[in-house]
Amino acid sequence: MNTVALIDDHPLAVNGIGAWLKSTGRFTIAGTAGSLEEARTLFEQLETLPSVVILDIALGADDGLAVIPLLKTIAKERKTALPAIVVCSMFEDPFLIQNACDAGAGAYIAKSADINEIISAIDAALAGNSYIKAAYQLPVQQWAARGISSREREIVALIKQHVSNKEIAEKMHISIRTVENHLSHIYVKTNTCSRSELAEL
């Protein structure tokens, strides 16, 4: 039976998905966490890493995708396989989806997905395949064709969340000048002139 860790700061989501998965008879819940630090503690306490980790992009003030490099480090230290990673989020922005995939997620589904889609995503990730709805993929391909780098996609995704340049610099651990330089390149590649125009793309 596959074990699942649920990393989400919304108890309703955790309880709902957990109950759904247990009802299939195919999964058990290894543990839950609502922040990056709680996730670190959970993984360190588990004798065996779970088969699947389902995580949200936003964990309160934490970046949920930071769970992925944490998992990679722990798996490497234990010399064990990396769990299948499924991102389940309310965000359906192609930039964020691409960032999740670049970080190492095997599947990306919306929180509005039904249980059958969630299980399909989990099965794909467990098999080492990717699962992203076709509706999410086309915009990403269009952006990639414009030469937008993964770093630039991350900045645009934050701008779409109305994050200031200063906050972007802090989140990405870069200087404000570097953010501004990235934005200059992004404006040229997207034929836009302002943050508001970028946010509307």
Check if the beta carbon of residue 17 is closer than 8 Å to that of residue 54: yes
Quick one: tokens of 80?
Answer: 């064990």
pLDDT band at 50 (very low <50, low <70, confident <90, very high): very high
Tokens of 13: 């989501």
pLDDT of residue 135: 63
Q: Which residues pair with 31 in a beta bridge?
A: 5
What's the CA gap between 6 and 23, in Å, rounded? Answer: 16
Q: What is the 3-state secondary structure (H, E, C) of the chain?
A: CEEEEEECCCHHHHHHHHHHHHHCCCEEEEEEECCHHHHHHHHHHCCCCCCEEEECCEECCEEHHHHHHHHHHHHHHHCCCCCEEEEEECCCCHHHHHHHHHHCCCEEEECCCCHHHHHHHHHHHHCCCCEECHHHHHHHHHHHHCCCCHHHHHHHHHHHCCCCHHHHHHHHCCCHHHHHHHHHHHHHHHCCCCHHHHHHC
Contact criterion met (CB below 8 Å) for 45 and 120: no
What is the arithmetic mean of pLDDT over 95-106? Answer: 83
Percent pLDDT > 90 in the chain is 44
Mean pLDDT of 70-98: 89
**Contact call for residues 179 and 198 (beta carbons, < 8 A):** no
- Stronger pLDDT, 20 or 139, i.e. the higher one: 20
Asked if pLDDT for residue 139 goes beyond 60, the answer is no
Nearest to 4 by CA among 32, 41, 42: 32
Q: What is the mean pLDDT of residues 112-133?
A: 89
User: Which residues, in sequence order, are CB contacts of 191 under 8 Å at separation 6+?
Assistant: none
150-184 pLDDT, tens digit each: 678 778 888 887 889 998 888 778 889 999 999 99
Q: Is the pLDDT of residue 141 over 60?
A: no
Name the band, by pLDDT with cuts 50, 70 and 90, for residue 138: very low
> Hey, how many other C-beta atoms are within 10 angstroms of the C-beta on 86?
23
Percent of the chain with pLDDT over 70: 93
